[in-house]
Amino acid sequence: MSVLEAIGSSVIDRLAYVGSLTTQFCSALSAFPRLAPFVGRRGRWRSAMKQMSAIGVDALPMVAIVAACGGSILAIQSASELSQFGAMQLVVDIVVIAFTRELGPLLTAIVVSGRSGSAISAEIGTMVVTEEIDALRTMAVDPIELVLAPKFLAAMIVVPCLTVVSNLCGILAGAAFMYFKIKMTLPIYLRYVANAMVLRDVFTGLVKSLVFATIIVHVGCMEGIRVKGGPEAVGRSATSAVVKSTLLVIFADLFITAIFYMASAK
């Protein structure tokens, strides 16, 4: 009985967590009109721009390096198998399809989750500990609109951009490998890329990256808001933000991939 109870209560906890994430998502989304440049409240757009720089521009080198390494690894591993069948040109297809559909968005999400997910939860967690969030509430200022919404908007804009960069770097790393391996020049490589790349794949990749961005920002914020106690709780919240957002990103990835697979199988 107690085992059942434990399972039940943990399931209910998980559901409640997803529920409060959804509520938070809706109220952040409803704050978006007040964030828009020119028509929104003053200062909001500027703070969103700052966040775009922190979440996006500052992550560029890391995303580029991770994607380039990922592209090289994929090319090397598939080349060693495919060369046995004399099908080296298929390496290009593998790299292009894997990156546009899957690795580009996923690697980007993992980098952003590690960099910004933890940063968001630590920032908001510190604001909770120092009573800054309470102060905002008592000032009748909505913390979601002031603190979360700019980060959310910024992530929705820059994470897809980072994904495009990631795709680019992964595919270019493939090009470098092919040049050193079989002296395939860039124009020929690009022709193969153009053959392998489908707009649909790029599109599904970008849809995924939007979902991942949403998950990372909202889990980071939720973990921050739930901080209770002192500074060590802030550290723990940063850890659990990364753990939970990475896990949810993988789940969401599986879910979206399954949906697109079923849609295309028909």
By the criterion CB under 8 A, which residues form the site for other proteins? 41-43, 126-127, 130-132, 134-135, 137-141, 146
CB 105 → other proteins: shortest distance, Å? Answer: 31
- Judged by CB, which is closer to other proteins: 11, or 139? 139
- Judged by CB, which is closer to other proteins: 147, or 241? 147
CB 156 → other proteins: shortest distance, Å? Answer: 22
CB 136 → other proteins: shortest distance, Å? Answer: 8
- Judged by CB, which is closer to other proteins: 16, or 139? 139
- Judged by CB, which is closer to other proteins: 146, or 156? 146
Amino acid (one-letter) located at 240: S
- Judged by CB, which is closer to other proteins: 49, or 82? 49
CB 175 → other proteins: shortest distance, Å? Answer: 43
Please tell me the distance from the alpha carbon of residue 167 to that of residue 62, in angstroms, as a whole number: 13
CB 227 → other proteins: shortest distance, Å? Answer: 15
